[in-house]
A and B are shown apart, each in its own frame.
Chain A
Amino acid sequence: MLFKSNFTIKFILLVVIFIFLINFFSFSNKIQNFFYNISFPVQKNFWSAGINFLDFYNNIFNIEKIKQENRDLKQRVNELEVININSFQIEQENKFLRQALNINLSKDFDLILSDVVSKNYSQDSILINKGKKHGIEVGFPVIAQEKVLVGKVEEVYENFSKVMLVSNKRNNFNVEIISGNWKDFISFPIFMIKEKFNSSNSSNSILCKATGKGNFKIELDLIPKEKEISKGDLIITTLLGDVLPKGLLVGHIIEVENVPTDPFWKVDLKLSFNLDDLRHVFVIKNEL
Chain B
Amino acid sequence: MDDLLTDFLAEAAEMLADASGAIVAWEGDPGDRDRLDAIFRFVHTIKGSSGFLTLPRVTALAHAAEDALDQVRRGARNADVALVSAVLAIIDRLNQLCETLGKSGVEPAGDDQDVISLLSGLTAAPVETAVPVAAPSVDEDVAAAVQSWRSIRVPLPLLDSVMTGITDMVLARNDFARLLRENNRDPALVASFDRLSDSIAGMRQSVSQMRMQRIDKLFSPLPRIARDLATELGKQVQMVTNGGEVELDREMIENIRDPLTHIIRNAIDHGLESAADRQTTGKDAIGRIMVSARQSGNQIEIEVADDGRGICIDKLVAKALSAKIIASADVALMTPRQKLDLIFAPGLSTAAKVTAISGRGVGMDIVKSNIEKIGGIVELRNDEGRGLCVILRVPMTLTIISGLLVSASNQHFAIPRGAVREILLESSDTVRIDRLGGGEFVSVRGERMALVRLENILSGGEDHDDDSDDRALVIVRPGQGHCYALSVAAIHDHEELVIKPAAPLIMATGLYAGTTLPDNGRPVLLLDALGLPAVIGVDVGVAAQLGSELLAREADALETRTRGQLLLFRDCDQSVRAINLTAIERVEEVPLSDIFESAGSVQVHIGGDIIPVHASAVPSGCEKVKLLRLFDGRNEICYLIDSVIDIIRMTDSVKASKVPGLVAGIILVADQPIELIDPFWLMEQVAGGSRRAERKHGPLCRLAADDDGWAANFLAPILRSAGYRIASGPVLADEEVADVLLCSSETDIAADGPTVPVVRLRMTVNGEGPDDDSIYRYDRAGVLSALRSRVAGTGQ
Q: Do A and B form a real pair?
A: no
